[in-house]
Amino acid sequence: MRTPPFETTAELETPTSAETWERVLTINEYYDAPRRGVAVYHGVPHIYHSPFDSDRDAYSDYFRLAPIGPDLLQLVLDQWKLWERWQEAYHSGRVTIESHPCLPVDREAYDRLANLIGNRLEIADRQEGITCRAEFRETGDQRRQLEVRWRRVTD
């Protein structure tokens, strides 16, 4: 069984008092847990991604993080707001799953944003960004927001 290169000799850094819960801004991919999106790391918005290991047929326990620029961040947040509007309407019974991921009235705007975002939430390779483990939790507010505690991994 092959292990992704960033998992071979990685060890967790010693926790520090600076480790805090930070806000998950978007969840653009989800499978049993958030797998890709935007979250805050040390006060700065970052793209996060948990790669899929086809040899293990499972998602990695590790996440790659890379800073996100302000223009891309705004596009992603605008698209996320459209998804949140859909989610609220879906849970209140005003739309069905067939309209996912946005309200029919928002489809044109959602698709335009998706086109502008393209594949820019990809983290190219091991050289870009940092590797962390993540612990996610709900904030307890009514909107079911998530927080994350990142724990950086050293090679």
Lowest-confidence segment of 8-12, 66-70, 90-94, 120-124 by average pLDDT: 8-12
Intra-chain end-to-end CA distance of the chain, in Å? 20
| Per-residue b or e along 104-127, where b marks 16 or more CB atoms closer than 10 Å to that residue's CB | eebeeebeebeeeeeeebebeeee
- Does position 4 have pLDDT exceeding 90, yes or no? no
Mean pLDDT of 56-65: 91
Name the pLDDT band for 139 (thresholds 50, 70, 90): confident
List the domain range (segments joined by +) for residue 37: 5-154
Mean pLDDT of 107-134: 89
Are 37 and 17 in contact by the 8 Å Cβ rule? The answer is no
Cα distances from 145 to residues 27, 81, 86, 117, in angstroms, run 10, 13, 15, 23
* pLDDT for the residue 16: 42
**Dihedral, 37, 108, 85, 123 alpha carbons, nearest 10:** 0
* pLDDT for the residue 132: 95
- Does position 77 have pLDDT exceeding 60, yes or no? yes
- Does position 28 have pLDDT exceeding 90, yes or no? yes
Mean pLDDT of 67-73: 96
Alpha-carbon dihedral sign for residues 126, 43, 143, 137: positive
Mean pLDDT of 69-73: 97
Return d(Cα 150, Cα 155) in angstroms, integer: 16
Return d(Cα 87, Cα 120) in angstroms, integer: 24
Name the pLDDT band for 126 (thresholds 50, 70, 90): low
* pLDDT for the residue 154: 80
Task: Answer with the residue of higher pLDDT: 17 or 83.
Answer: 83
* pLDDT for the residue 112: 98
* pLDDT for the residue 61: 86
- Does position 134 have pLDDT exceeding 60, yes or no? yes
- How many structural domains is the chain composed of? 1
